Amino acid sequence: MKVIAVYNIKGGVGKTATAVNLSYAATIDGNKVLLLDIDPQGASSFYFKTKPSMDGDANKILFGGRSIESAIRQTEFTGLDILPADSKYRKLDHFLYEMKKSDKWLSKLFSPVRKQYDYVFIDCPPSITSVSRNLFENADAMLVPVIPTILSIRTYEQLREFFKEEGFDKKKLFPFFSMYERRKNMHNESMDIFASNYPECIKIAIPYNSEIERMGEYLAPIVHKYPYAEASEMYMKLWKKLKKSL
Ligand SMILES: Nc1ncnc2c1ncn2[C@@H]1O[C@H](COP(=O)(O)OP(=O)(O)O)[C@@H](O)[C@H]1O
Ligand SMILES: [Mg+2]
């Protein structure tokens, strides 16, 4: 079982769109996949029409005592399950801060389902917290959507610097381009510079496509709804390239 966290310090860069579409791409590629939505805003859960169960006490699942299995829900897509977000996840950071041996939290959380899934995707909230540090330490890959603009590239540089300073493994970082607009010279130029400065970059650009924004209306991954759209083909390619690198 490999754990892939979709992460960026910034919000609004396409993390959720990526988590939803790549977990679906990995599923139709023949894998058993679990999507863990730990962003308390719950956008991934919304796209997959799932809610946390009323009796499923997120505290007990995430903070020990109760197995993760009881909170996992099936999506309408065979082979793709989800652990829906819960507003209580806001307390997760505080919990990890207080917990002894918190660096083992993620692997302990997954141990009951390790054999059931080939891949786990994590839709992360933005910002650097104890939760993100746990992922930096324990995830197999950090997939980082980067919009090809100066500011967005800067946040990737900051993340890379943070990895270096804190001794996390930089080989886990897999940036790629998100919301790419071909007509914009700035996007084309930034992508060239980024790819030559950061060889770890997966050279795939998900184009800007308003059908991705409309996922909130049709409630499904664009890869499912419009499989022949360029964005869907790029998500599939991104998945195949990432899989090879893991
Ligand atoms: N490639 C894209 N083209 C057009 N809109 C996109 C694309 N990727 C994401 N979006 C839209 O941009 C907004 C932010 O994306 P989202 O995936 O929620 O970002 P994050 O999870 O990083 O906050 C959403 O409205 C989403 O539908
Ligand atoms: Mg999000």
Closest CA to 142 of 246, 13, 241: 246
- The per-residue pLDDT of the chain, averaged, comes to 91
Give me the pLDDT at residue 68, please: 83
pLDDT digits (tens, 9 = 90+) for 128-187: 788 888 899 999 999 999 999 999 999 999 999 999 999 999 999 999 999 999 999 999
Provide the 3-class DSSP secondary structure of residue 174. Answer: strand
List, in order, residues 6 or more apart from 88 with CB less than 8 Å away. Answer: 40, 58, 59, 62
User: Which of 31-35, 108-112, 114-118, 138-142 is predicted least confidently?
Assistant: 108-112
- Share of residues in the chain with pLDDT > 70 (%): 93
pLDDT digits (tens, 9 = 90+) for 93-107: 777 777 777 777 888
Burial level of 86, CB count in 10 A (0-12/13-18/19+)? Answer: buried
Ligand 1 near 85 CB (within 6 A): no
Ligand 1 near 232 CB (within 6 A): no
Give me the pLDDT at residue 211, please: 98
pLDDT at 90 over 90: no
What is the CA(64)–ligand 1 centre distance, in A? 33
Give me the pLDDT at residue 123, please: 95
Give me the pLDDT at residue 65, please: 65
What is the CA(17)–ligand 2 centre distance, in A? 7
State CA 45 to chain mean position distance.
13
Closest CA to 152 of 170, 129, 175, 135: 175
Q: Which atom of ligand 1 is nearest to the CA of 210?
A: 4
In what order do the strands lie in the sheet containing 119-123?
A: 73-74, 80-83, 33-37, 119-123, 2-6, 141-146, 173-180, 205-207
Instruction: Give the residue, by CA position, lying nearest to ligand 1 atom 27.
Output: 213
Give me the pLDDT at residue 220, please: 98
Give me the pLDDT at residue 63, please: 66
Say how far apart CA 173 and CA 16 lie, in whole Å.
Answer: 17
Give me the pLDDT at residue 51, please: 80
- Listed in sequence order, the DSSP H helices in the chain are 15-28, 43-47, 58-62, 92-98, 105-110, 130-138, 150-166, 185-197, 210-213, 215-218, 222-225, 230-245
Give me the pLDDT at residue 168, please: 96
Does the predicted model carry a pTM greater than 0.85? Answer: yes
What is the CA(117)–ligand 2 centre distance, in A? 23
Give me the pLDDT at residue 16, please: 97
Instruction: Give the residue, by CA position, lying nearest to ligand 1 atom 14.
Output: 12
State CA 142 to chain mean position distance.
8
Say how far apart CA 2 and CA 27 lie, in whole Å.
Answer: 14
Ligand 1 near 22 CB (within 6 A): no
What is the CA(220)–ligand 1 centre distance, in A? 14
Say how far apart CA 60 and CA 170 lie, in whole Å.
Answer: 33
Give me the mean pLDDT over the 192-218 stretch: 97
Quote the domain boundaries for residue 35: 2-245
Ligand 1 near 132 CB (within 6 A): no
What is the CA(205)–ligand 2 centre distance, in A? 18
Say how far apart CA 204 and CA 217 lie, in whole Å.
Answer: 26
pLDDT at 121 over 90: yes
pLDDT at 54 over 60: no
- Total domains in the chain come to 1
Q: How confident is the model at residue 17 (pLDDT cuts 50, 70, 90)?
A: very high
Higher pLDDT, 194 or 52: 194
Provide the 3-class DSSP secondary structure of residue 2. Answer: strand
Domain at 210, CATH number: 3.40.50.300
Give me the pLDDT at residue 59, please: 63
